[in-house]
Amino acid sequence: MNSLFASLPTTVFETMSALARAHDAVNLGQGFPDDPGPLDVRQKAAEAVLNGWNQYPPMMGVPELRRAVAAHYRDWQGLDLDPEAEVMITSGATEAIAGALFSLIEPGDEVVLFQPLYDAYLPLVRRAGGVPKLVRLVPPHWRLTEEALAQAFSPRTRLVLFNNPHNPTGRVFDHEELERLARFCTRSDAVLVSDEVWEHVIFDGREHLSVLALPGMRERAVKIGSAGKIFGMTGWKVGFVCAAPALMRVLSKAHQFLTFTTPPALQHAVAYGLAKERDWFLSTRAGLQRSRDRLAAGLSSIGFNVLPSAGTYFLNVDLAPLDAALRDEAFCRTLVERFGVAAIPVSAFYAEEAIDTVIRFCFAKADSTLDRAVERLEAVS
């Protein structure tokens, strides 16, 4: 077989989790919590299965969930969405991203992406015929600068695939950076597709600002969210897409032929979950923030250079100050094979000119798991 996809390696998350299992390692690689998720939401899903919500639901999603998504984003992000015309449910955010690329661009259109980038983005852009234009974010600040944007945007830019809060850097882009991005999108007349799956996983009192709330973006932005990330149940694969009706009509055409629908029992449970009281979301955040601080303190105490993390399940460590010769991929392999801790080399998130001295740890784990990882890593330093 000689296709674009035939030449792709297996995703780093799958590879690292398999290595972690083989070496009985503490898995701080692939981003998933080791907590089973909120009991009441899981109970709702079980009840919905038992009550017979098992046939094809409406293609756009069950009405209860579409209304719950609109209400949730009104309460949390001040957005005014019409659940009938502007909200669609997908089988995870990745389906939503693939669908947006397949339906909104034509072969040869330029697509702006941000490096480091989540590993699914680039193969999907290429498969859709897009010509990738990469904006480079640089540690430790990973800022969205005027110069970097100016290099990637052109009058041929049709679509921008953005991610905020940002995986793998843990960056939450600020108001000024987001408005700068919006200006570039308007100038190029491009659609802004914004992967906001980490919108609830933000720390230190931050508030999420959706691209849909930015000046000029209401009609040209597509917001993508994920119940898996909001409730810490990453296998659920229930995503939400929000966009103005003209865009939504196009996006729905991709969804109808990709997965068509999403398991209705899970949709009912998510509708229930999104209406949970404010405190639940805030205390979930606070718990993850404590885990971030625990891992950061542990890693710093044994000599790692921990970079700031404002959101997501991840924090990064810069290896450069430890030993200029260390390369992230080799280091991660040694970590998992010899020390029993799995992490993700950040170079896996680059298409070109990779920064290869940074590694990513997932802190969405029980204290005992984080402590065990730090104990094992003590032997490295």
What minimum distance in Å lies between the beta carbon of 116 and ligand GLN?
Answer: 11
Shorter beta-carbon distance to ligand GLN: residue 11 or 186 = 11
User: Using DSSP, how many helices (H) and how many strands (E) does the chain show?
Assistant: 14, 13
Contact assessment for residue 149 and residue 198, using Cβ atoms and an 8 Å cutoff: no
Contact 200, 270 (CB under 8 A): no
**What is the closest distance, in whole angstroms, from the C-beta atom of residue 249 to ligand GLN in the complex?**
29
259 makes contact with ligand GLN (CB under 6 A): no
Tell me how far apart the alpha carbons of residues 99 and 217 are, in angstroms, rounded to a whole number: 20
Shortest distance in whole angstroms from residue 171 CB to ligand GLN: 14
Among 20, 26, 27, 30, binds ligand GLN (CB under 6 A): 30
Burial per residue of 68-101, b for 16 or more beta-carbon CB atoms within 10 angstroms, e otherwise:
bbbebbeebbebebebeebbbbbbbbbbbbbbbb
Alpha helices in the chain (DSSP H): 12-22, 39-50, 63-77, 83-86, 93-104, 121-127, 146-152, 175-188, 227-230, 245-258, 264-274, 278-301, 328-334, 367-378
Closer residue to ligand GLN, CB minimum distance, 30 or 261: 30
Could you tell me the smallest distance in angstroms from the CB atom of residue 13 to ligand GLN? 3
Beta carbons of 240 and 225 less than 8 angstroms apart: yes
> Is there binding between residue 167 and ligand GLN (CB under 6 A)?
yes
- 241 versus 348: smaller Cβ distance to ligand GLN: 348
Number of residues that bind ligand GLN (CB under 6 A): 5
Residue 13 binds ligand GLN (CB under 6 A): yes
d(CA 341, CA 141): 26
Instruction: List, in order, residues 6 or more apart from 97 with CB less than 8 Å away.
Output: 120, 121, 124, 161, 193, 195, 224
Closest to ligand GLN by CB, 11 vs 259, is 11
316 belongs to the binding site for ligand GLN (CB under 6 A): no
Of 107 and 235, nearer to ligand GLN (C-beta) is 235
Q: Which one, 61 or 116, has the nearer CB to ligand GLN?
A: 116
Q: Should residue 228 be labelled a site residue for ligand GLN when binding is judged by CB under 6 A? A: no
11 near ligand GLN, judged by CB under 6 A: yes
169 lies in the binding site for ligand GLN (CB under 6 A): no
Distance of closest approach, residue 40 Cβ to ligand GLN, in angstroms: 25
Q: What values do phi and psi take at 227, rounded to 5?
A: -65, -35
Asked if residue 31 binds ligand GLN (CB under 6 A), the reply is yes
Q: Which residues bind ligand GLN (CB under 6 A)?
A: 11, 13, 30-31, 167
